[in-house]
Structure 1
Amino acid sequence: MPDALRKQTARILSVDGRHRLSRVVDWLLILLISLNVLAIILESVPSFHDRYATPLFWFEAFSVTVFSVEYVLRVWSSVELVGFNDTGAFKARLRYMVTPLALIDLLAIAPFYLSILFAVDLRFLRVIRLLRIFKLTRYSGAMNLLLSVFREEAQAFMAAFFVLLMLLILASSGIYLLEHEVQPDAFGSIPDAMWWAMATLTTVGYGDVVPITPLGKLFGGLITVIGIGMVALPAGILASGFADQVHRRRSQYEERLEQVLGDGIITHHEQEDLSHLRESLGLSQDEVEDLTHAYLKKHQQSIRQCPHCHKPLIQERRSDRSSSDE
């Protein structure tokens, strides 16, 4: 009985579009998270906080209770998840607790308990509580896609930021040598000059600190041109990573589609499986329909029913053949 209850709990708490109760739980949690973020933002308004301090406290207590129960249930049922069920229960739960999503769930409830145990600055806790918005990443295919890009391209991003750090040091050192004598307040030291170097390399150019010597202006123009390329470098990495992830997800869906259409019959369970896979991969309905029609046109499969429009495709092909014979 406990094993069955644990499996059912894991299924309900997973983002599973095939399970009606799971969809209800997902939408309720999304609503509660959204209301929490809105409440935290409005709480920063002094007049609103003074007027609704008591309701805000009880709403916070209710939200923390729900999130705490959710966190405990997720940790308890994590041994049933794929990737965590190949070890003992204790090790599986420890592995789950250090995953990014589990850490986000923990950060969502930690500020409330910290405020009870310790005297912590409430403004600091308010900022930490805003991290609850990251709980929405579990339900957003776009955010999951973005996180996947960051994981895949982590080394490329680190290399780009390392080059940016080197240029930051060189730029601040160079402008310090050229400008510190005529502008000791703005460029009195290399750390002071780093503010100008960062604003220039990122092409922001606030204009609060500018070089005034001829060599300083020439050096500043050179750094600005280099900064344009540095801004484009992470953007290019991100764009290529997005394109690669989208291609991988489409290929994964095509592979599953080929398995489903291999026997020429699409069962109700296979339709639900394809729908769930589409949601988990973050593909739109139009993309899936295009992939399905492209596959059918390429392989000329005779299947009994389209997984999306539910129209009989065998009759269409037979009519097409008869018209071609005529």
Structure 2
Amino acid sequence: MTRIDSIPSRRWRRLSWLLPNALTTAGVVAMVLGTAPDVDARFDEILGQVMLAVAAVLAAVFIVNLWKAAAQRRSHQYLASSNGMVDFVCAAALPLGWALAPVPHDARLFALVWTLRYISHANGLSLFWRVMVRSRIALFSIAGLFVVVTLTAATLAHVFERGAQPQAFGSIERTLWWAIATLTTTGYGDVVPTTIWGRLLAGWVMVGGIVMFALHAGIIATAFAEELQRRHFLRTWELVISVPLFRDLGAAAVADIVRLLQSRDVEAGTVVMRKGDPGDTMYFIVSGEATVHIAPKPVVLGPGSFFGEMSLLFGGPRTATVVATKPSVLLVLDIADLHDLAGRRPEFVNLIETEARLRRDRNDGTAG
């Protein structure tokens, strides 16, 4: 249940995230508008003031976060974290531009660094980084192959085309542009081989480029799928061990159960199962609440309870309608997975069957 005193803090966290990002957007927009050639001096001055204000706010954000980290004796951790590094470079962007830009007005272009704030707190960024780290060996291998093929293509193009087009293919340095454009299948058309051997080489390079980028895509897609599956496994594990029925089964048994259960979020008022429907799944309540509508009076089930097992164990249709009365997180086990689990983890199924028989004997009917 949500505590009332947590609402202001949640709103403050949301505001503390929204305000700097809104200011960052204003600063980046001011930088973009300031590059227009027809901006008058007065409007350009206003844009410069906007950027100065944004730079001051971002510097204050960095100082405050550093002060808070130092108060907790974690300043080194903050500065070494991705959020800390992004806060630092955003605060230092304009001063660095003033120091390095040959034209004073170009110092504003360093505000491009501010866009890093959009992704510094994104969960997808950490996921992408983990994927890149886990697949780095394969990606580096493909990148090395790309370099070899590019140099080989540039060298052969120089040999085949230097006589026909000395201006474009007179050196390997010049043919590298053609090799990269062809290998990436961009094909700008500004440099085109004219000899038969040069055209055969171009076809081979284009096919090779497609193969290499397909390998890149396959490696990254596989790594993403594995990482998402790992995260799903960890999340399901946390949900499973929060159910009292699973806590004493041991890690090996829990791992087997996690691979079979699927988590499901339901809103209040959702009919989870209906009386008379075929029973092919059972449910475990991780959080929330569900009401079993059965005579003589409804039964309320809370976290740790399960329902729907009687149809799976004893056959027959559902004997009750179950409605989620609060937003809930459920774990779902279908009949095929239950039979599979019965063969590998009979102790788990015995626990469910024992409880189901007690319910049936009491003629409670809450598990329908």
* Pair in the same fold by TM > 0.5: yes
Stretches of structure 1 lacking an aligned partner (at least 5 in a row) = 1-16, 265-286
Tell me how far 1:205 sits from its aligned partner.
0.9
Aligned equivalents of 2:229, 2:173: Cα separation in 1:
44
Range that drifts further, 114-123 or 226-235: 114-123
Measure, in 2, the Cα distance between the counterparts of 1:101 and 1:245: 22
> Which SS does the other structure have where 1:289 is aligned?
strand
Which structure has the highest strand share of the two?
Answer: 2
Aligned counterpart, 2:117: 135
Deviations along 1:42-65, whole A, 9 cap, x unmatched?
222122464422221221121111
Query: Cα gap change, 1:254/1:303 in structure 2, threshold over 3 Å: closer, same or farther?
Result: closer
Matches within 5 A, 1:143-162: 143-162=125-144
Q: Does 1:34 align with 2:25?
A: yes
Query: Which moves more between the two structures, 25-34 or 182-191?
Result: 25-34
Distance 1:160 1:126, change over 3 A: farther
Residue 317 of structure 1: aligned partner = 307
CA distance 1:122–1:143, shift in 2 (3 Å): farther
CA distance in structure 1 between the aligned counterparts of 2:34 and 2:289, rounded to whole angstroms? 51
**RMSD value, Cα:** 3.5
Aligned equivalents of 2:43, 2:190: Cα separation in 1: 41
Q: AA paired with 1:68?
A: A
CA contact 2:184–2:210 (8 Å) conserved in 1:
yes
Aligned to 1:209: 191
Aligned partner of 1:73 in structure 2 is: 64
Tell me: higher relative CO, structure 1 or 2? Use CA pairs within 8 A at least 6 residues apart. Answer: 1
Counterpart in the other structure of 1:248: 230
| Distance in 2 between residues matched to 1:250 and 1:72, nearest whole Å | 37
Q: Distance in 2 between matches of 1:180 and 1:325?
A: 82
TM-score computed with the length of structure 2 as normaliser: 0.64
The residue type paired with residue 136 of structure 1 is Y
User: Considering only CA atoms, is the larger Rg found in Structure 1 or Structure 2?
Assistant: 2
1:254-291 CA-to-partner distances (Å, cap 9, x unmatched) read 12222433379xxxxxxxxxxxxxxxxxxxxxx8628x
Residue 23 of structure 1, CA deviation: 1.6
8 Å Cα contact 2:282/2:306 also seen in 1: no
Q: Which residue in 2 is equivalent to 1:232?
A: 214
Which consecutive unaligned segments of at least 5 residues does structure 2 have?
1-7, 247-262, 267-271, 273-279, 291-298, 309-318, 321-359
Cα distance, 1:77 vs structure 2: 2.9
TM-score, normalised relative to structure 1: 0.71
Judging changes above 3 Å, is the alpha-carbon distance between structure 1 residues 151 and 298 closer, same or farther for their aligned structure 2 residues?
farther
1:317 is matched by which residue type in structure 2? F
Given the alignment, which residue of 10, 14, 17 partners 1:19?
A: 10
Equivalent residue, structure 2, for 1:223: 205
Contact 1:137 1:144 in 2 (8 A): no
- Alpha-carbon distance in 1 for matches of 2:109, 2:135: 28
